[in-house]
């Protein structure tokens, strides 16, 4: 099943959540303040023009793909560093973990404004700044769930293997590469795949952007699409869609099939569970059978192995000591001290936020943002409810028929990975042509991407209903409503909640690009927090962007903590097999 | 580094001491933050050339003790010396074999065996040579490139042994190494090991093995340390002088087994009182299913036992491990259905009566015995009778239990009380709301 966003069981916000939230907003504010000062002298970027000539598309696709790869590499590096730090230091983990947990439910599209101004400021007048900003945007959409899944695996490393590693006197570095990373690998690869799926959406959104008077255009499928939208060119939209389909298929075949098949080696025996469909990986098979390819790659692999074998702690004589149990008094004192440091930091951060906001914003702005947030909230809920009503029966139908499910699952997975914003223009053109009410019909855009998570999870849930229960149901002649109430709903609910939660998160994020749309010269705007943020970004109004993003984050976090997580906890307790 | 002399072991006293465990105590934090001792005042030593068994019930802290000896856990107080040096981390010269094998599933057999040498920085050819030697010794040739998942349980544990032996340890620690294996496989592996040890081919100075299988301990060990529970401590020491290879059918062997059984089931006067320094909490209940109790009562009441049975024989007949047998016997004893004495189980009048009854009568008798002998159930029942709405939250009793024992034991005790009470139809329990009630399920 889909594990994005990655969620812990804890739902009640504790002091660390609040601290982490304050620190994150403060970071946002300080970037915005720096950006405001630096904004004026930035010279205009000499962006190469993007044309809608389909002949250029392969090149654009390549650029897009490379950005994606760079972001994935950055996410992996972040994941490892985050995991290693949090394992090493409980005190750091106390702050870092809630911070990342919050970051994964925050609408990353809203951050684009800051990051772009920040990176443009780092490389004034150079296109590389915009490239960094785009890669960073993708990074922020995929790193968090990878990092949390990695940490979770690292914490769940079987105790006996931990003890074996200690008893065999592996150093911390050796243990990390020999035990922690391999054990986390299957989950990590799965989360990488889900992250990548989400990433296509952001790459399309981040290649063509307007921040204040800066128009940033990076050659890629996303900017090609933006150009097509400007021209009102439906053919070009079609070409872009086609290109994306090919790119995603190639990614799947060349990168993820081999990667999942390879990661299977790291699965602990006995927990094959839901990974029943091991996709055939022709590339990996080919590689494993080809001596020449192996010979080419072997030295690199050998070097990596050697790296993992280093002790990095000054030799086996200096083995790790087990910590004697600290007297409880001293341990508590140290914890207290750390608490004080963090709380002072948070207070300082809050002061920074308040002083920044006070200059330009009046209380009325808050009320406005919250009011618009409620509109967007209604849209998100409508998306989730309508998509559930539509897709649940279909998902159950598919999931109960294993031979259909096996064929349907890759297609649905593909649909989830496909960046829905590529299809926006088609829908928008329709709304323009039929003069639909944007407040209602733009909601459809938010559903385009989000719905697949629901379908995907319902299929997974329905196919996970044990065969003997199904047979028992048939032998008791359960039919109609009774069958749904006693067999199907309990079976799919745990999966469904995950899907609905993910769908809701996706819809919030999409609102930033969906509540405001353009086709040729026509501009459609729906009242909502998403369009508020989008318009503030375009106007370069940083305080309002900060406000909008903060309010939206609070909405998402509150919903997760108040609605989804308790619901999921309850369902898991009630319906676990 | 191998042993310098062979059997018999009479000559072994006066040999150099490898491991000394002195006044070791280990606490775990209870829910309330108070410390709960799992081990207290443990003293013993391991000499060169000995095989020592740590025998005890689950929860007696013997595995914890092994981990303290291995330098994986620090003691709360007291100390462990290896070669006279304090142990403050996994010492060089100590290897461990795990109950769950603890093999790295992503490494081949050979890579698993080499891992410890790799950590020491032994160069590749030497590593390979020594690993192949160990693999050869333990009978794994031909499996070098297999992954653990491709092997059967017995072969996996052989990898576990090879991984420990390749280090040529002075002290080999084994944590119930055969208990995850089926009976035949375990026996084969044990025999192979004893043979290697006797032929002096094991590159090992001494062995410390944790087990809950009495026959296994008697089969392998020169000395058995019997642990009592709550907190764990050495309650008795049994020296075994039978020559190897030992024969299970040998009357002298059977006598030692009986003797160990008797010592394991012997209760100190303090425990009979239900309290005393460090004694088991009178509230703690062992999770024994009512089905198994009923089955055992029927079996002992019938032929050929007629109400009195030898514990080792009973355990063998019903394929129970010694600690399961003892646990079951204690539960029956607690409920007043049976008594355990000198390694025998004999039924009380209530136990005999129970065996002859129909289901409903059994439930009534069980309820009666519960209320009479199990204070926790009596408390729950009284509380329910007294309250107007006949509902009591489980939290009330859990809090009380957690004052007396660790969180896990409290949970286990409560669950046992629930399942016994349900069987006796004394009360019902809503797992969602965590409420006891008197409502009938109808």
Quick one: which of B130, B326, B98 has its CA closest to B214?
A: B326
Token look-up 């209604």 returns A378
As a whole number, the mean pLDDT across chain B is 85
Tell me the nearest-neighbour CA distance from A494 into chain B, angstroms.
Answer: 17
Q: pLDDT band for position A36 (50/70/90)?
A: low
Most confident of A202-206, B205-209, B406-410, B431-435: B205-209
On whether any CB of chain B is under 8 Å from the CB of A174, the answer is yes
Query: Which residues of chain A lie closer than 8 angstroms to B116, CB-CB?
Result: 168-169
Q: What is the number of domains present in chain B? A: 3
As a whole number, the mean pLDDT across chain A is 80
Query: Which residues of chain A lie closer than 8 angstroms to B101, CB-CB?
Result: 160
- Residue-number span of the structural domain to which B186 is assigned: 9-93+168-265
- Do the Cβ atoms of A170 and B121 come within 8 Å? no
CATH of domain A362-577: 1.10.3720.10
- Do the Cβ atoms of A266 and B105 come within 8 Å? yes
For the ranges A60-74, A536-550, B175-189, the lowest mean pLDDT is seen at A536-550
Residues B197-231 pLDDT 10s: 988 888 899 999 999 888 889 999 999 999 887 77
B79: β partners: B22
Quick one: which of B385, B232, B260 has its CA closest to B322?
A: B260
Same domain, B297 and B404: no
- Do the Cβ atoms of A325 and B76 come within 8 Å? yes
For the ranges A525-529, A533-537, B56-60, the lowest mean pLDDT is seen at B56-60
Residues A152-202 pLDDT 10s: 888 888 889 999 999 998 888 888 988 999 999 888 888 888 788 778 888
A157, A160, A168: which to substitute to probe chain B, counting the most B Cβ within 10 Å?
A168
Q: Please count the residue pairs, one from chain A and one from chain B, whose beta carbons lie less than 8 angstroms apart.
A: 92
Domains A20-39+52-267+277-317 and A362-577 share a fold: yes
3-state SS of B338-364? EEEECCEEEECHHHHHHHCCCHHHHHH
The residue in chain B having the minimum alpha-carbon distance to the alpha carbon of residue A169 is: B119
d(CA B162, CA B134): 5
pLDDT over 90 percentage in chain B: 36
d(CA B132, CA B111): 11
From A170, A322, A324, residue closest to B119, measured CB to CB: A170
Q: pLDDT band for position B161 (50/70/90)?
A: very high
Q: Is the pLDDT of residue B437 over 50?
A: yes
Q: Is the pLDDT of residue A9 over 80?
A: no
CATH code, domain carrying B16: 3.40.50.300
A167, A266, A305, A307: which to substitute to probe chain B, counting the most B Cβ within 10 Å?
A167
Domain end point (choices B337, B355, B373): B355
Q: Is residue B64 part of a domain?
A: yes
Q: Is residue B276 part of a domain?
A: no
The residue in chain B having the minimum alpha-carbon distance to the alpha carbon of residue A174 is: B119
Same domain, B76 and B204: yes
- Residue A76 is predicted with a pLDDT of 92
From A179, A322, A328, residue closest to B104, measured CB to CB: A179
Tell me the nearest-neighbour CA distance from B88 into chain A, angstroms.
Answer: 6
The residue in chain B having the minimum alpha-carbon distance to the alpha carbon of residue A575 is: B432
CATH code, domain carrying B308: 1.10.10.10
Q: What ipTM describes this predicted complex?
A: 0.76
Cα-flanking dihedrals φ and ψ of residue B85, to 5°? -100, 140
Q: Is residue B283 part of a domain?
A: no
pLDDT over 70 percentage in chain B: 91
- Do the Cβ atoms of B74 and A324 come within 8 Å? yes
As a whole number, mean pLDDT of residues A85-96 equals 83
As a whole number, mean pLDDT of residues B29-48 equals 80
d(CA A29, CA B353): 79
Same domain, B335 and B363: no
- Residue B277 is predicted with a pLDDT of 35
Quick one: which of A111, A102, A113 has its CA closest to A145?
A: A102
Residue B181 DSSP code: S
Residues B312-354 pLDDT 10s: 888 888 888 777 888 888 899 989 999 888 778 889 999 999 9
- Do the Cβ atoms of A170 and B149 come within 8 Å? no
- The helix/strand/coil state of B335 is coil
Domain end point (choices B308, B339, B355): B355
Same domain, B199 and B62: yes
- Do the Cβ atoms of B102 and A164 come within 8 Å? yes
On whether any CB of chain B is under 8 Å from the CB of A323, the answer is yes
- Residue B279 is predicted with a pLDDT of 40
The residue in chain B having the minimum alpha-carbon distance to the alpha carbon of residue A323 is: B74
- Do the Cβ atoms of B120 and A316 come within 8 Å? yes
As a whole number, mean pLDDT of residues B134-145 equals 91
More confident residue, A540 or B429: B429
Same domain, B197 and B75: yes
Query: What residue segments make up the domains of chain A, in order of their start?
Result: 20-39+52-267+277-317, 327-360, 362-577
Residues A421-476 pLDDT 10s: 888 888 888 888 888 888 888 888 888 888 888 898 898 888 888 888 888 888 88
As a whole number, mean pLDDT of residues A66-95 equals 88
Same domain, B349 and B206: no
From A167, A311, A322, residue closest to B121, measured CB to CB: A311
**Side by side, which strands form the sheet with B428-430?**
B391-393, B435-437, B428-430
> How buried is A278 (Cβ within 10 angstroms: 0-12 exposed, 13-18 middle, 19+ buried)?
exposed
Q: Is residue B151 part of a domain?
A: no
Q: Is the pLDDT of residue B98 over 90?
A: yes
- Residue B278 is predicted with a pLDDT of 38
Q: Cα dist. A147→A103, A143, A185, A255, B391 in Å? A: 11, 6, 12, 20, 46
For the ranges A369-383, A505-519, B26-40, B275-289, the lowest mean pLDDT is seen at B275-289
Same domain, B333 and B390: no
The residue in chain A having the minimum alpha-carbon distance to the alpha carbon of residue B70 is: A167
Q: Is the pLDDT of residue A411 over 50?
A: yes
B105, B165, B180: which to substitute to probe chain A, counting the most A Cβ within 10 Å?
B105
As a whole number, mean pLDDT of residues B61-79 equals 90
Same domain, B336 and B308: yes
Q: Is residue B387 part of a domain?
A: yes
- Do the Cβ atoms of A269 and B116 come within 8 Å? no
CATH class of residue range A20-39+52-267+277-317? mainly alpha
- Residue B246 is predicted with a pLDDT of 87
Tell me the nearest-neighbour CA distance from A460 into chain B, angstroms.
Answer: 26
For the ranges A242-246, B94-98, B234-238, B438-442, the lowest mean pLDDT is seen at B438-442
For B202, the token pair is 């094991």
Same domain, B181 and B76: yes
Q: Is residue B296 part of a domain?
A: yes
Q: Is residue B67 part of a domain?
A: yes
DSSP alpha helix (H) spans, A400-528? 402-417, 424-434, 438-441, 443-464, 467-475, 480-483, 489-514
Same domain, B310 and B339: yes
Residues of chain B in Cβ contact (below 8 Å) with chain A: 27, 33, 67, 70-74, 76, 88-90, 92, 94-96, 98-107, 115-116, 118-121, 147-149, 163, 167, 432
Tell me the nearest-neighbour CA distance from B105 into chain A, angstroms.
Answer: 6
Q: pLDDT band for position A522 (50/70/90)?
A: confident
As a whole number, mean pLDDT of residues A3-24 equals 59
Same domain, B83 and B176: yes
On whether any CB of chain B is under 8 Å from the CB of A450, the answer is no
């Amino acid at each position: 099943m889909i594990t994005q966003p990655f969620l812990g069981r804890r739902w009640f916000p504790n002091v660390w959540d609040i601290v982490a939230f304050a620190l994150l907003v403060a970071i946002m504010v300080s970037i915005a303040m720096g950006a405001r000062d630096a904004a004026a002298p930035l010279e205009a970027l000499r962006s190469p023009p993007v044309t809608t000539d389909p002949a250029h598309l392969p090149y654009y696709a390549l650029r897009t793909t490379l950005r994606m790869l760079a972001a994935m590499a950055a996410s992996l590096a972040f994941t490892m560093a985050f995991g290693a730090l949090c394992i090493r230091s409980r005190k750091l983990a106390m702050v870092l973990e809630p911070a990342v947990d919050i970051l994964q439910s925050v609408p990353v599209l809203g951050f684009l404004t800051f990051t772009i101004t920040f990176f443009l400021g780092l490389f004034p007048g150079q296109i590389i700044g915009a490239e960094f900003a785009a890669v960073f945007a993708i990074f922020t959409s995929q790193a968090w769930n990878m990092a949390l899944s990695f940490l979770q695996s690292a914490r769940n490393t079987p105790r006996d293997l931990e003890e074996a590693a200690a008893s065999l006197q592996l150093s911390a570095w050796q243990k990390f590469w020999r035990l922690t990373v391999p054990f986390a690998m299957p989950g990590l690869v799965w989360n990488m795949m889900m992250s990548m799926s989400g990433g296509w959406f952001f790459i399309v959104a981040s290649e063509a952007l307007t921040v204040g008077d800066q128009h940033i255009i990076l050659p890629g499928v996303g900017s090609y699409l933006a150009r097509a939208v400007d021209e009102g060119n439906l053919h070009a939209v079609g070409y872009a869609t086609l290109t994306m389909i090919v790119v995603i298929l190639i990614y799947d075949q060349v990168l993820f099939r081999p990667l999942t098949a390879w990661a299977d080696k790291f699965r602990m025996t006995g927990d094959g569970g839901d990974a029943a469909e091991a996709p055939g990986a022709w590339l990996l098979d080919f590689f494993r059978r080809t001596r020449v390819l192996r010979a080419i790659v072997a030295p690199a692999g050998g070097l990596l192995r050697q790296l993992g074998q280093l002790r990095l702690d000054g030799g086996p004589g200096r083995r790790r000591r087990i910590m004697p149990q600290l007297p409880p008094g001293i341990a508590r004192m140290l914890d207290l001290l750390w608490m004080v440091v963090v709380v002072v930091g948070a207070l300082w951060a809050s002061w920074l936020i308040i002083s920044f906001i006070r200059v330009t914003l009046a209380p009325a702005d808050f009320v406005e943002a919250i009011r618009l947030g409620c509109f967007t909230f209604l849209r998100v809920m409508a998306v989730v409810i309508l998509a559930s009503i539509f897709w649940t029966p279909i998902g159950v139908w598919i999931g109960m028929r294993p031979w259909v499910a096996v064929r349907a699952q890759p297609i649905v997975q593909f649909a989830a990975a496909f960046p829905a914003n590529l299809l926006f223009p088609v829908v928008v053109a329709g709304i323009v042509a039929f003069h639909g009410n944007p407040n209602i019909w733009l909601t459809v855009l938010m559903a385009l991407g989000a719905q697949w998570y629901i379908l995907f999870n319902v299929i997974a849930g329905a196919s996970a209903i044990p065969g003997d229960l199904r047979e028992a149901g048939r032998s008791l002649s359960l039919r109609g409503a009774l069958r749904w109430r006693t067999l199907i709903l309990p079976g799919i609910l745990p999966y469904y909640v995950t899907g609905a939660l993910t769908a809701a998160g996706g819809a919030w994020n999409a609102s930033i690009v969906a509540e405001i749309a353009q086709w040729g010269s026509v501009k459609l705007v729906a009242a909502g927090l998403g369009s508020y943020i989008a318009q503030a970004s375009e106007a370069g109004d940083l305080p309002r962007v900060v406000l909008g993003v903060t309010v939206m984050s609070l909405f998402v976090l509150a919903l997760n903590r108040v609605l989804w997580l308790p619901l999921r906890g309850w369902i898991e307790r009630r319906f676990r097999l | 580094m191998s042993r310098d002399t062979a059997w018999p072991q009479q000559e072994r006293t006066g040999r150099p001491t490898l491991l000394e465990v002195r006044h070791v105590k280990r606490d775990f934090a209870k829910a309330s933050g108070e410390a709960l001792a799992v081990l207290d005042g443990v003293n013993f030593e391991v000499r060169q050339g000995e095989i020592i068994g740590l025998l005890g019930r689950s929860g007696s802290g013997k595995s914890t003790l092994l981990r303290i000896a291995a330098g994986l856990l620090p003691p709360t107080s007291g100390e462990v010396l290896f070669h006279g040096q304090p142990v403050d981390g996994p010492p060089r010269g100590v290897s461990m074999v795990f109950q769950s094998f603890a093999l790295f599933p992503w490494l081949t057999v050979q890579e698993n065996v080499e891992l410890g040498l790799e950590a020491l920085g032994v160069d590749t050819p030497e590593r390979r040579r020594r690993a192949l030697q160990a693999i050869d010794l333990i009978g794994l040739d031909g499996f070098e490139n297999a992954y653990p998942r491709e092997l059967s349980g017995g072969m996996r544990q052989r990898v576990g042994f090879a991984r420990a032996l390749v280090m040529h340890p002075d002290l080999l620690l084994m944590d119930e190494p055969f208990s995850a294996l089926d009976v035949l496989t375990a026996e084969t592996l044990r025999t192979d090991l004893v043979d290697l040890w006797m032929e002096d081919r094991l590159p090992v100075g001494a062995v410390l093995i944790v087990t809950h299988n009495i026959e296994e301990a008697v089969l392998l060990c020169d000395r058995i340390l019997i642990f009592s529970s709550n907190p764990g401590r050495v309650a008795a020491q049994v020296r075994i002088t039978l020559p190897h290879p030992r024969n299970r059918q040998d009357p002298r062997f059977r006598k030692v087994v009986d003797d160990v059984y008797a010592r394991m089931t012997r209760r100190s006067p303090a425990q009979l009182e239900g309290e005393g320094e460090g004694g088991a909490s009178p509230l703690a209940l062992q999770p024994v299913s009512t089905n198994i109790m009923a089955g055992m009562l029927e079996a002992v009441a019938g032929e050929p036992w007629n109400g009195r049975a030898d514990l080792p024989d009973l355990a063998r007949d019903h394929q129970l491990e010694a600690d399961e047998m003892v646990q079951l016997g204690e539960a029956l004893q607690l409920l007043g259905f049976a008594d355990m004495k000198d390694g025998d189980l004999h039924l009380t009048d209530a136990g005999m009566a129970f065996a002859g009854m129909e289901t409903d009568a059994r439930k009534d008798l069980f309820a009666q015995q519960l209320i009479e002998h199990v204070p926790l159930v009596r408390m729950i029942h009284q509380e329910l009778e007294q309250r107007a709405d006949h509902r009591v939250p489980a939290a009330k009793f859990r809090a009380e239990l957690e004052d007396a024992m660790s969180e896990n034991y409290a949970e286990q005790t409560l669950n046992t009380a629930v399942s016994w009470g349900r069987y006796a139809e004394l009360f019902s329990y809503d797992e969602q709301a965590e409420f006891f009630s008197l409502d009938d399920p109808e």
